[in-house]
Amino acid sequence: MAIQITLYDTSALLGLFRQVEAPSTYFRDLLFPQVVTFDDEYIDFEKIREGRKLAPLVVPTAQGRPVYSEASRLTRLKPAYLKPKDPVSPGRAIKRRPGENLFAANNLSPQQRFNAIIGDILRTHRETIERREEWMAARAVIDGQVTLEGPDFPTTVVDFQRDPSHTVVLTGDQAWNSPNFTGSVMDDIQTWINRVRRADFGGPVNRMTVGAGVLEYMLDDPKVQKQLDTQIRGTNADLNTGLRSGDYVEFIGKLGPNLELWVNTDFYEDEEGNAQPFIGDGEVVLTGPALMGVRCFGAILDDKAGFAPLPVFPKMWSSEDPSATFVMSQSAPLPVPVNPNCSLKATVLA
């Protein structure tokens, strides 16, 4: 028997969802490349600490000494549930859509408008879900924790147990924008790099992402300027000190052989419609590949999805009286930095 696929069955909606353009997801794509799904509403992960012990010294005739020990920590997290839903009333298919010519004879038919509205709704759902994922990934990396709250969701703090010393606030004359600043931007950065490298489950840093207001104070620092002087031996920084492209995420160059510098001015809208930056204007974030970020997805709590742990499950159904069609997308994401100590946030502007 031939398989019947309609325009708006689950397979068709999933295909349409995959084809729409995704929003910018800097932190998610950079540090959370792996996807793991769970056939449960909870997400579990375990870390094993082995340490850096030296083999004990003994005389040849002495008995051997035990060195093997394995300590683990199991963490259970419950992701928030995302469920954007929008109705499509028959009246929307009758009205002219934005962009249609008022006087053209070949404007869209009601069915064509209806199809276009469904596509727009799915695109909007995807953008809001992936922007929420990016927000969660940014908070996990920048703050070491994510505070989940909403009108129908009790406030919950997902704490990834990052070392408190990896959240730095420079005040007074220590701030880079202080008129009496006598420190060194380069020395501060090197101190933080060393801290991340030597932290428990830390690692090397290969990227520094800064907010909108930080770059000008970095470029004014004497030691940074010295690194950019090609007449001085031993310098290897290469930064764009001229005009920038104005993109939300810009590559500025390198502060050393392995440390890239990026400026991130991307933003989102909060519940009140106010623009909020993903990274604060005066913040610096150091990250490295050992962070091992994972995009985790819990099960979709819907029998139509078979309770499968899909990144997004779109569905559509109709109401007979009054006639209306509803489009809904569901997701249960939580970006998890397995090694949160491989990140550090510093607020450098007072």
pLDDT in tens, 205-217: 999 999 999 999 9
Residue 109, CA distances (Å) to 89, 95, 113, 119, 179 in order: 15, 10, 6, 15, 65
Q: With 70 as the cut, is the pLDDT of residue 173 above it?
A: yes
Mean pLDDT for the stretch of residues 308-316:
87
Q: pLDDT tens digits for 45-71?
A: 665 555 566 666 655 656 555 644 444
User: How far is Cα of residue 257 from the mean position of the Cα atoms in its chain?
Assistant: 26
Mean pLDDT for the stretch of residues 187-212:
95
User: How far is Cα of residue 205 from the mean position of the Cα atoms in its chain?
Assistant: 18
Instruction: Return the CA Rg of the chain.
Output: 26
Q: With 70 as the cut, is the pLDDT of residue 4 above it?
A: no
What is the per-residue pLDDT for 341? 95
Q: With 90 as the cut, is the pLDDT of residue 122 above it?
A: no
Share of the chain above pLDDT 70, in %: 77
What is the per-residue pLDDT for 285? 98
Exposure of 140 in the CB half-sphere (CA atoms within 13 A): 29
What is the per-residue pLDDT for 56? 66
More confident: 159 or 21: 159
Q: pLDDT tens digits for 313-324?
A: 999 888 887 778
Q: pLDDT tens digits for 18-48?
A: 554 456 789 999 999 998 888 777 776 665 5
What is the per-residue pLDDT for 74? 56
CB atoms within 10 A of CB 335: 24
What are the two backbone dihedrals, phi and then psi, of residue 299, each rounded to the nearest 5 degrees? -70, 145
Lowest mean pLDDT among 4-18, 173-187, 219-233: 4-18
More confident: 41 or 13: 41
Most confident option among 43-47, 198-202, 226-230:
198-202
CB 265 within 8 A of CB 333: no
What is the per-residue pLDDT for 329? 92
Mean pLDDT for the stretch of residues 5-13:
58
**Calpha distance 173→216 (Å, rounded):** 17
Share of the chain above pLDDT 90, in %: 39
Domains in the chain (CATH in brackets) are 10-50+72-100+107-347 (3.15.30.10)
Q: With 60 as the cut, is the pLDDT of residue 73 above it?
A: no
Q: pLDDT tens digits for 231-258?
A: 666 667 788 888 788 889 999 998 888 8
**Calpha distance 87→304 (Å, rounded):** 19
What is the per-residue pLDDT for 8? 61
Q: With 70 as the cut, is the pLDDT of residue 135 above it?
A: yes
Mean pLDDT for the stretch of residues 218-235:
78
Q: Measured over all CA atoms, what is the biggest interatomic distance in the chain, rounded to whole angstroms?
A: 100
What is the per-residue pLDDT for 5? 46
Taking the complete model, does pTM exceed 0.75, yes or no? Answer: yes
